[in-house]
């Protein structure tokens, strides 16, 4: 059974090298586990979508819970899926650039991008738009 898990956490003392390391290890490890998804980092908040077999996604999320770079991870959406949204992305990055501000704020219910306040349908729509506009992914 495949699932899609979306979670958010607060980033702790991250620099560009840390983000690069997270992406590199995520892409490598996710490939081994057959997990796909996307990661955004904006306003010091991680928002990540993970897709794959339930046991693999569950194991990865428990690993994330132990990662000191993530503060107070919170599951925002969890659903069974029959097909992946991110079929070819072991881990895409949605960069927090000036040109992406409109995308981030379009789905946020706050003046600043805050996925903790977003509904599950808004989160799903956010990632759907991200996937349909591959330019958002690095």
What tens digit of pLDDT does each residue of 39-98 get? 888 888 999 999 999 999 999 999 999 988 889 999 999 999 999 998 887 777 787 777
* pLDDT per position as a tens digit, 99-116: 777 788 887 776 788 899
Q: Specify the DSSP element, H or E, that contains 25.
A: helix 16-33
Compute the distance between CA of residue 89 and CA of residue 82 in angstroms, rounded to an integer: 17
| DSSP assigned state of 123 | H
Domains defined for the chain, CATH in brackets: 2-136 (3.30.70.100)
- List of residues 6+ apart from 113 with CB closer than 8 A: 42, 43, 45, 104, 105
Please say whether the beta carbons of 46 and 11 come within 8 A.
yes
């Amino acid at each position: 059974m495949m699932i899609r898990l979306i979670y958010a956490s607060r980033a702790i003392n991250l620099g560009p090298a840390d983000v690069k390391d997270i992406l590199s290890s995520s892409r490598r490890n996710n490939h081994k586990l057959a997990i796909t998804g996307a990661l955004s980092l904006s306003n010091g908040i991680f928002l990540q979508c993970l897709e794959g077999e339930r046991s693999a996604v569950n194991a990865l999320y428990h690993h994330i819970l132990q990662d000191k770079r993530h503060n107070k991870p919170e599951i925002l959406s969890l659903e069974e899926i029959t097909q992946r949204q991110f079929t070819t992305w072991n881990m895409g990055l949605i960069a927090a650039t000036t040109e992406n501000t409109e995308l981030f704020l379009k789905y946020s219910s706050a003046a600043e991008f805050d996925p903790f306040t977003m509904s599950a349908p808004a989160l799903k729509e956010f990632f759907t738009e991200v996937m349909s506009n591959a330019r958002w992914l690095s």
